Amino acid sequence: MARRHGWSEEQLSDLANFRQRSDFSDAEKAALDLAERVTRDSGVDDDFWSELRKHYDEGEIIELLAAIGLFNYFNRFNNALRMEPTK
């Protein structure tokens, strides 16, 4: 899906360093930061909410959180069952 939206193989292979990369927009960095924060501890402080609102409206933030939560659920479910990804 990321490739269909224009992300390069280099961006995908170096995703862990998104904050330092210049080929991600500020909005993309904010969304990736949100995904990382919610995945690690579910906490988002007021300062970060303000940063998100610079790039996304309330509906877009809800959509981002819904997608992040859904994929976290899938990953935890699959990990518990020791399922391997398939095509």
| Per-residue pLDDT at 28 | 92
CATH fold of the domain at 9-80: AhpD-like (1.20.1290)
| Per-residue pLDDT at 62 | 93
Tens of pLDDT, residue by residue over 27-68, are 999 999 999 998 888 778 889 899 999 999 999 999 999 999
Domain extent listing, the chain: 9-80
Q: The whole model's pTM is what?
A: 0.79
**CA dist., res. 18 & res. 79, Å (int):** 25
The 10 Å CB-count burial string (b at 16+, else e) for 6-30 is eeeeebeeeeeebeeeeebeeebbb
